[in-house]
Structure 1
Amino acid sequence: MTQLLSKKNLTYNNLAKFALFFLGLIIFSCATDNDNSGIPSEFEVTVNSTSNTNVEISWSESFDPEGETIKYSVFLENQEHSSHQSIRTYTFEDLIVSNYYDGYVVAHDPDDNERIANFSFTTTENLPPSNFELTSATPSNVSLDVNWTEAIDPENENVTYDLYINEQLISSNLIEENFIFENLNAATIYNVKIIAKDEAGNTTVLIANLETLDGIYHGDLSLRTQASVDNFGELGYIEITGNLEMDALAAFTDITDLSPINSIKKVRGHFTINFIDNLTSLSGLGIKHVGQSFRITHNDGLTNLDGLENLEEVLGTFRIEQNSNLLDISNINSLIIVGESLAILNNINLITVSGFNNLNTADGIWIQANWSLTQINAFNSVTTLAGDFNITDNTSLTTLNGTENITTISRIFIKNTLLANVNFLSSLTTVQGEFDIQDNSALQNITGLASLTEITYGSLSFYTNVSLASLDGLENLNQVGSTINFVGNSNLSNFCAIQNLMQNFSPSYNPSIYNNLYNPSITDITNGNCSN
Structure 2
Amino acid sequence: MKFNIQILTLICFASFFSCSSDDEAPPKIIVVEEEVIEDTAIINLTSEESNEIDFGDVVTNITSTRVFTIHNSGNSDLKIANIIIPDNYTIDLLTSIIPSNQSKEFTVTFTPTDILDYTDLIKIESNATSGTASIIIKGIGVNSIYDGSVTLITQDEVEDFAKSGYTEITGALFIGNINNFSPINSLASLNKITEVGSLQVISTTELEDLTGLENLNVTVSIQLLSNSALKNVDALLSVTKLSSYLSLLSNTALTQINGLSNISEIGDNLRVNNHPNLINLDGLANIITVKNKLYIENNSLIENLNGLSSLQSVSSVSIRYNAELYSYCGIKSLLTNKGIGEDYFRPRFNRYNPSSYTIEDFDCEKMIPDGIIHSDTGYGISEQKDIDYLISNDFHGIDGGLIISSENITSLESLSFLKTVSGSIRINDTALTNLNGLENLTNVAQIYILNNLTLSDYCGLSPLIVNGSLGENLYPSSEPFYTVDNLYNPTLADIQNGLCSE
Q: TM-score range by the shorter chain?
A: 0.3 to 0.5
Q: Which has the higher contact order (CA 8 A, sep 6+)?
A: 2
Higher Rg: 1
TM-score, structure 2 length as denominator? 0.44
